[in-house]
Every structure is written in C-alpha cells, then in structure tokens.
Amino acid sequence: MKKHVNLLSLVLVMIMAATMLNGCGKEATPTVNSSAAPSSIAPEEPDTIKALLPPISNQFIERLDKVQAAFHKQYPNLTLVIEAASWNDRIEKLDTQVNAGTPPDIAFLGSELIAKYVNMGVAMNITKYATADMISDYDAAPLKYMKNGDGLYGLPAYMEIHGIGGNKEYMEAAGIDWKKIQTKGWTFEEFDAAVKKGAGVKGANSTSKYGLVFATAGTTTKNFIEIFAKNAGMPSEFNSDIKYVYTSKKFLNVLTSASKLIADGANMNATAGERWNLFLTGQTMFTGKGLATFESSAKANNAKLKAKDGSAVAGSVPVDYVVMPVPTSNGASPAYYSVVDGYVTFRGKTAPTEVHMKNVVKASYFLASGENAAQTNADLFAVNITKTARDAESKYPIEREADNLASVKYLMANAAPARPEIPSDKQAKGTKIMDEVIIPKFQALLAKEISPQTMYDAVYEAAVAAFGKDGIVKD
C-alpha cells in the first residue's frame, strides 16, 4: 500500500514537473521553415511562412484571417501563419526568437532596425529573390530604406513623414499663413514666433494654453532630436564621408532651439497620449510630432462630438488638424524625417532553402503591395508607395483635406534620403550613443538641469570614444 501511495505521488510530481516544459515544445506540424535543415523542396511543395506582425492599423488585426486565406488562395501550396504581437512587445518577442535561433521569416519593423539585424547576421538578403516586377512596383525612395549596403532586407509597407500638427482655428486667429507654410516650409525663427503667439489664442470653443506641446516623455524623447536635427543640416547621423555629425555646432544649435522653445512657453514634457489629448481639448496650437493618421483621429473625434457620442475624448472640442512641416534651421534645406516601416525578412541558425526564400519574398510582397497595402494605408492615412496599391486605393477612399494631402506630397518630395551605405556597425554605435547619451542628456536638458553646451560636450566625448577623433565632424 505504501509503495502504491509513493508511486502515485511520484507520478503526480512528474506530471507537475512536465508541465513546466510545456512552452518548450516544437511546432506540432513539421513544416519546412527557416530553421529547418536545408533539405531541398520543390517549388510547388507545401511551405509555411511565419510572420510576426503588430496591429499595423486598428482594423488590420480584424482582417488577419482574411489576409491569410487570400494568400493561400493566391498560392495554394503556401500557408502564411501570422503571429500577432503588440507594438510594445514585438521587438522583445522578435529578439527572443532571433536569439533562440528560430526567428519568424518576416517581421514588421522600422527600417532603422535593419542594420541591427544585419549586424547580427540574421536579416535575410532578398535581392536575388525579389523579381524585377516586384521591385519596379515600388517607389525608389521608400525601397532604398529597406537596403543595407548592397542588400535588400525586406519590402516597405509605407513611408510616413514626421511633422508638426497645427490647430487650424488657432493658427488663423494668430495670423499664421499655414497654407503657404504647408507647401513652402518655414524657418525655426518663424516657427518660434508662431509658438510664442500660440498661447492664449481664443477659439470658438476654447482658449489655447500652450503654443506647442511636444511629446518627449519615455520612448518619444528622441523624436525632437531626430526630426529637428534632420532639418538643421544633418539629414543623417553620418555625413557623406561616414563621419558622425552630432559633434557639429549645428547640433548645438538644435539643442539651443529646444531650450528656446521651452523658454517661449512650449510644453516639452508630455507623453504621447497627453500630447494628443491636449490637442483635442484645444489647449495647444501645435502638437509634435505630427503624423498623417492624426487627421483621421481628429475627424473621428469631431464626428463623435457632433453626434453627442459619449465616447468622444472628455473635454474635447472640434478641431481641424493641419499637417505642418518641421521648420528648418542653420540655413539648411528641408530633409524631413521619414519613417519607413516594412516587412523585414529573417533567417535562423540553419540557412533556409532557395525555394523557401522565394516563398518568403512572395509573402512579403503580398502583404506590402496591392489591395493589402492599399487597405492598410487607407486606415493609416498613409500615402501608397506601390503602383499596385495606388491602382487599388479607389476601393478604400479616405476623406482627406486637399491642403493636407498637398502638404504630405511636399514633405515626401523633400524627405531625408535613405543611407544604406552606412556600415551597420557604425549605425549600431550611433544607436548606442543616441540611447545612452543623447536621450538621457536631452531629458536633463528639458528639465533645465543642464545647458545645451553641457549636453553637446557629453555627446562629443561619447562620439570621440566610439568613432575616434577622425570619425567625427569637427567644425
């Protein structure tokens, strides 16, 4: 009896211990994927492509099943398996899978992260697998962002330009010629003068409290640096000689500009949520950064207010969102900060087969072009960057102000160019300086704890340590 009790207890303990190994199992259905042994598969044999995607638009997640079904219909031998991730944890999820040696075949990422994965050796070069038709479908500028060196590491989904958002009513009340600025740009001095005028402007339903609210709390801290530095004569972290540019006095001017805006009444401490809330409640004339999709969000809130819908933002008033360019400084030409997000391709520890790589490219192209892209970009108010998406966009019309559309076209025409020739290891060092020096010091600058000169000196010192005295710009 005692033996039976002991045996039963032992079995129960083993079951409990085995449950801890639950998460360690491999896929139930063996499929050919990027981490499988490189056995050759015929082009028409079944293949599975795994993609890790965030909710690219609010409606995208709802369409996932349809997207997968449509892909399977177009390629009956291929199955697209989409793993959904949140915006917050998609990088951690991806990195965990990358470091385990089994990344997804495709992940939706910003193009600025391609260098990191190229450096790790896990980004998959699809240059020879993307057909000429696929390549010619894309606009040249966004496609270049998906390159690193001579390799193409994915296909772009959209190109978004970061700007400033303006409250039309307040700008008109303050006498600002926003229509002209939308397509001609403006200097920092003009922008600063507008910000000064922006506090205390009376509208029909509200009075502005701030001239500018710029989100710099948490992960948004680097937005200001990135978008203003580009338009201050530093369109990239590295110049044409691949020297680090944030050691230039132009960068010191950007930092001084930030201090000036704060002194002139701008709120530079808000989070992204607070920034948008303050705009919708009519408390600020300008908001930064501004994205095209904000126009959609403002219109949606206006509609709710009109319908007396209780889900409208509490305390909000009807606002007309105006796309405004980031001002230029240092006499520089505009070089607007472009964000190109797209479907980046990966490989695991075991090299994928040629056929599998072609299939991965087919899946990337399916997601990043045609109707899929047109529908997603319509959700985001983003301009389509492929011919096939532009052909399909009439099916997904968006109500957009003509002035804003004209401004977006102006911004895209003057977007900062991609720099795929910058070596990935230098980009990695630049990223580290941004994260460990520039962002923390900028937070202290915004809190008025250090001066622009102190911050500049710290960046200079870090840049010399990383790139050597010959690797930096010296004015």
Partner 1 sequence: MKKGNGGITVRQKHSAYAKEDNIWGYLFISMAVIVFCVFTMYPIVNACIISMQKYNPIQSKWVGLDNYNGLLTDKLFFKSIRNTVVYTVLTVPVNIAISFILAILIFPFKKWMQTTFKAIYYLPAVASGVSLSVVWLWIYSSLPSGLFNQLIGIFGLESQNWLGQSKTAMFSLVLMSWLSSHGTNVIIYIAALLGIPKDHFEAAEIDSATFFQKVHYIVLPMVKPTTLFLFVTGIISSFQVFMNAYLMTAGGPDNNTTMVGLLIFNNAFKYSEFGKASAQALILAVAIAVISLLQFKFMGDEIEY
Site residues (vs partner 1, CB under 8 A):
6, 9-10, 13-14, 16-17, 20, 91-92, 95, 98-101, 116, 119-122, 217-219, 221, 269-271, 274, 278, 348-349, 428, 431-432, 435-436, 439-441, 443-444, 446-447, 449-450
Q: Which contacts of 47-50 are long-range, i.e. CB under 8 A and separated by 24 or more positions? A: 47/77, 47/78, 47/79, 47/355, 47/356, 47/359, 48/78, 48/79, 48/80, 48/81, 49/78, 49/79, 49/80, 49/81, 49/105, 49/106, 49/359, 49/360, 49/363, 50/81, 50/83, 50/104, 50/105, 50/106
Q: Which residue's CB is nearer to partner 1, number 42 or number 314?
A: 314
Q: Which residue's CB is nearer to partner 1, number 278 or number 472?
A: 278
CA distance 190 to 326: 11
Q: Which residue's CB is nearer to partner 1, number 33 or number 375?
A: 33
Least CB distance from residue 285 to partner 1, whole Å?
A: 17
Least CB distance from residue 42 to partner 1, whole Å?
A: 27
What is the residue type of 383?
V
Q: Which residue's CB is nearer to partner 1, number 212 or number 374?
A: 212
Give me the residue label for tokens 């403006």. Answer: 186
Least CB distance from residue 91 to partner 1, whole Å?
A: 8
Q: Which residue's CB is nearer to partner 1, number 200 or number 440?
A: 440
Q: Which residue's CB is nearer to partner 1, number 54 or number 156?
A: 54
Give the CA-trace dihedral at 122, 125, 131, 135, to 10 degrees: 100
Q: Which residue's CB is nearer to partner 1, number 65 or number 436?
A: 436
Least CB distance from residue 9 to partner 1, whole Å?
A: 7
Is 153 in contact with 147 (CB distance < 8 Å)? yes
Q: What are phi and psi of 60, to 5 degrees?
A: -65, -45
Q: Which residue's CB is nearer to partner 1, number 218 or number 331?
A: 218
Q: Which residue's CB is nearer to partner 1, number 100 or number 140?
A: 100
Least CB distance from residue 346 to partner 1, whole Å?
A: 10
CA distance 416 to 430: 17
Least CB distance from residue 299 to partner 1, whole Å?
A: 25
Least CB distance from residue 205 to partner 1, whole Å?
A: 19
Q: How many CB atoms lie within 10 A of CB 241?
A: 8
Query: How far is CA 137 from each of CA 71, 280, 361, 365, 384, rounded to the nearest angstrom?
Result: 19, 38, 14, 10, 11
Is 191 in contact with 214 (CB distance < 8 Å)? no
Least CB distance from residue 113 to partner 1, whole Å?
A: 11
Least CB distance from residue 112 to partner 1, whole Å?
A: 13
Residues 6+ apart with CB under 8 A from 155: 126, 130, 134, 138, 143, 146, 342, 343, 361, 364, 365, 368, 369
CA distance 47 to 29: 12
Q: Which residue's CB is nearer to partner 1, number 277 or number 376?
A: 277
What is the residue type of 410?
Y
Q: Where are the alpha helices (DSSP H) in 265-401?
A: 272-280, 293-306, 354-368, 370-380, 387-392
Least CB distance from residue 269 to partner 1, whole Å?
A: 4
CA distance 298 to 304: 10
